[in-house]
Structure 1
Amino acid sequence: MDKIEALLRQMRQTFLNEMGERCDRLEQKVIELERSPDDREVFEELYRGVHSLKGSGGTHGLHIITSICHQLENHLTEAAETCNFRSTCISKALAYFDLLRKVQHVAGEDEPDYAALEAELERLREPKEQRLIQVLMAEPSNIMRQVLNKALTDQPVQVAMVDDGIAAIELLMRQKFDIAVLARELVRLNGVAVVAAIRASKGRNANIPFILLTSNPETVPLNVTIDRVLPRDKHLMVEVLQTLTGMTGSQTDI
């Protein structure tokens, strides 16, 4: 029995190790659908891949993966029936794969706690009219990230947090956002460089609003389009919330 249990654990770990690559391949199919929404072959390859991942998750006792994939299958089916592979649908599909990657990390812990992931999955189930505003927050300070995240807790937003410029670019190239809030003083690549790169990329986030948080009085280069620059002072939290309200049209209570 010990040998069988060890073998099952090994098979489960192998599945988790390979899940990131499987998600990468399926994500590419989603991107292809955004470009060619009528390509039935691509859709069927995507759907089969998600269905296979769902079955594998159940086999290895990872029911959170089964739940995510089941919900994603429903989302893809609805989109196919309504011919609605536009940006909001694509963004939501990619959000499911981001959630699967989080499962990959949590499942490797000694005592996995999936409560936060289940709550995130429930939010993805919300109807379109209740869609959360997707915000990218790039901030190197752990304390400031916690403060910003807490300030937005009760707001109709879903925040993705990163701590450096390269990570911000990678996420902006992969996932659709409604708005991005970047610290100017980021690790590896500063906020101005991130905005310049994304604007030049002509990708899905090239035209979204960008807010720059800075303690640097140096002016932003004129060739980099930043929608608002906010100083790091005692009014920063209020300014961030008010700016998000103005740019997204949400009813934010300060």
Structure 2
Amino acid sequence: MADSPARPLPDVQAMLCQLRENYLAELDGKLGDLESDLLALDRIERFADVFERAYRKVHSLKGSAGSHGLPIISKICHQLEEHLNLFSNTPAKPPREMSDRCLAHIDLMRKARDQAQAGGEHFNDIEDELSTLRTLLLGERYSVLIVETSKVNIKLCTQIMKRYPVQVTVMDNGYQALEHLLQQKYHLLITGLEVKMLNGLALVAAVRMSARGNQDMQAILLSSSKQPPFKRNVDPNYIVPRDSKFAENLGSAIDSCVAALREKVEGLAR
């Protein structure tokens, strides 16, 4: 008796791609339903029921996005869950900005869906907007990394920073700082030119060229000599020479960077 011909193995990758496409096609309807629930949170008489339903939908979207290879949507949902948790026991009508900021997360998910449907694999702009939105949710607070070997300059930077709500991390090794910047989000980098392992100019350029979310952060370079102004996309926003006006110019550069950060956050809030 002749053996029956073997059945061809299914193309697993093609099946997964089709499932992902189906998920993205159905996502708009799910986001529309979630958006309706979030808008209904303003009705205090139904707050508890609507809140629970909306939270379940966000949690479900987070899990299904991860299953379909869309971690950016899972990340947006996770941050939205954190924001919703702030109001889980709200006894009175929640503030208007609650629903506004929830809807901002919906907009980011739609943007991620559009990029994914267009074949995009990197979502750096969305990561950046998500980080900015997180700053808005938690209140004005900025993460600053100082990379410098001079204790005098570190002290001066931290003193100037006291006028702003910031969280400061200090390092003296450019290579270690680069590893840190590739893993954690920062709003402002202040680096000396002459630091260990990797000089400050190379550090800024490496971060600018990376695809890890800190490409557009504000950056200040401290130099012992006057540097020519840079205009490349990979260069720092400001260069502050260590001269007789060092403290004054450093303060002005930091003020300008914080003003740019505030403008960005306020623009996202509008």
Report the TM-score when normalising by structure 1.
Answer: 0.51
Change (3 A) 1:42 1:8: same
Change (3 A) 1:153 1:28: same
Matched, 1:129 2:139: yes
The aligned length equals 142
Within the candidate set 50, 57, 61, 1:42 is matched to: 50
CA contact (8 A) 1:57 1:63 kept: yes
Measure the CA separation in 1 of the matches of 2:266 and 2:123.
18
Alignment of structure 1 residues 1-254 onto 2, 5 Å: 3-36=11-44, 39-83=47-91, 85-126=94-135, 127-130=137-140, 155-159=263-267, 178=270
Report the TM-score when normalising by structure 2.
Answer: 0.48
Aligned identity (percent) is: 36
Gaps of 5+ in 2: 1-8, 142-258
Measure the CA separation in 1 of the matches of 2:266 and 2:64.
29
CA contact (8 A) 2:133 2:265 kept: no
Deviation (angstroms), 1:2: 5.9
Deviation (angstroms), 1:99: 0.3
Per-residue CA deviations over 1:173-215 (Å, capped at 9, x if unaligned) read xxxx65xxxxxxxxxxxxxxxxxxxxxxxxxxxxxxxxxxxxx
CA contact (8 A) 2:38 2:102 kept: yes
CA contact (8 A) 2:132 2:264 kept: no
Where does structure 1 differ by over 6 angstroms across 4 or more consecutive aligned residues?
A: none
| Aligned partner letter, 1:129 | G
Deviation (angstroms), 1:64: 0.5
Measure the CA separation in 1 of the matches of 2:120 and 2:45.
41
| Aligned partner letter, 1:60 | H
Change (3 A) 1:70 1:37: farther
CA contact (8 A) 1:50 1:73 kept: yes
Gaps of 5+ in 1: 132-151, 161-176, 179-254
Q: Find the counterpart in structure 2 of residue 171 from structure 1.
A: none
Deviation (angstroms), 1:16: 0.6
CA contact (8 A) 1:99 1:117 kept: yes
SS at match of 1:34: coil
Q: Find the counterpart in structure 1 of residue 202 from structure 2.
A: none
| Aligned partner letter, 2:139 | E
RMSD: 2.4
Measure the CA separation in 1 of the matches of 2:66 and 2:10.
22
